[in-house]
Amino acid sequence: MASSSATLFKASPVKSDWLKGQSLLLRQPSSVSPFRSHVAPSALTVHAASAYADELVKTAKTIASPGRGILAMDESNATCGKRLASIGLENTEANRQAYRTLLVSAPGLGQYISGAILFEETLYQSTVDGKKMVDVLVQQNIVPGIKVDKGLVPLVGSNDESWCQGLDGLASRTAAYYQQGARFAKWRTVVSIPNGPSALAVKEAAWGLARYAAISQDSGLVPIVEPEIMLDGEHCIDRTYEVAEKVWSEVFFYLAQNNVMFEGILLKPSMVTPGAESKDRATPEQVASYTLKLLRNRFLSGGQSELEATLNLNAMNQGPNPWHVSFSYARALQNTCLKTWGGREENVKAAQDTLLTRAKANSLAQLGKYTGEGESEDAKEGMFVKGYTY
């Protein structure tokens, strides 16, 4: 992913009681497997129609391995160009290839990373020494994933909000991505709090996610279900929680309507935080409490500093928790790595070491064992970008 940094986790078997438009209520199960997903609500019948059912569950379990998370490197070429420009490099395929080679070939990366989300160019790309990017990932026991949406566009009839396009032709594209080696998919839709969110925007986001999830599973790809709650705004943490609760209720309703197999999805709720421009700040313990209260599942850390994202993840894993809480980070893994590299071949090893340091820190945080000792000043640098797109 190239959007904001993010966190991700696999849900455990739970019983859900909810209605469309109402809060999603989760009951703690008496016995929990950290690799299982939400079962369908009893009020709705969900059929596992995909011929890839067993493989989907296996892929989801692999990505949800304890101590490992997702590296999101699915920036569009334009956004990757902005990253390269920040270190004085031109946005060429050769430079994009060099940077992505640095990431996927970092020795030992698979110890901390279980999946990598790629942009379409990267899925079909080779490293600078001629090896397929996908093959390099698989050799490190990292599952290749693919960003499948076509970006955000204005949602006509809304309060200056957006919707995610890309359903047209998705079935043929996901089938081709599977043949190329991808085994999971990512679709970025967003909900804006300052602009509403309007009922229209929430419904559009939920329906689009559900259709994408159903189509992806039919092609053998595990879908990441991610309605991203944008950080923009001055709102308090309670307002974020209120909106996230409403959005996830709608998402689960439409997932069930579209017969999505819940055991073969990964849930990725945003971390529940105050708006980026709010005067009230939240501690890692507060973020953890609100986020686990929401769904006790996956979350986005977008715009936080590398250190903040890791501390919040760590706090979520330090108390009793029946869910497998992991991470799917983009900038929170790559920011310092990119600066260290600077486009210079002689800095590749140092940059890879920096990437591994951040990956290891988040691996420890996923196990609730992160202490924050020895963190650099760069790791504390905020990464919020207003109205972020990629």
Q: Catalytic amino acids?
A: 226, 268
Burial 282-311 (b: 16+ CB within 10 A, else e): bebebbbbbbbebbbbbbbbbbbbbbbbbb
Q: Where would I find the beta strands (DSSP E) of 33-142?
A: 69-73, 113-118
| Alpha-carbon gap, residue 357 to 342, rounded angstroms | 18
Cβ within 8 Å of residue 82, ≥6 positions away: none
Query: Which two tokens mark 325?
Result: 């809480």
Query: Which two tokens mark 44?
Result: 């709705």
With CA atoms as reference, report the closest residue to 290 among 331, 359, 229, 372. Answer: 229
Rounded to whole angstroms, the maximal C-alpha distance in the chain is 60
DSSP 317: T
Q: Helices in 110-169 by DSSP H: which ranges?
A: 120-123, 133-139
DSSP 385: -
Residue 348: is it exposed, middle or buried by C-beta count within 10 angstroms (0-12/13-18/19+)? middle
Burial 96-128 (b: 16+ CB within 10 A, else e): bbbbbbbbbbbeebbebbbbbbbbbbbbebebe
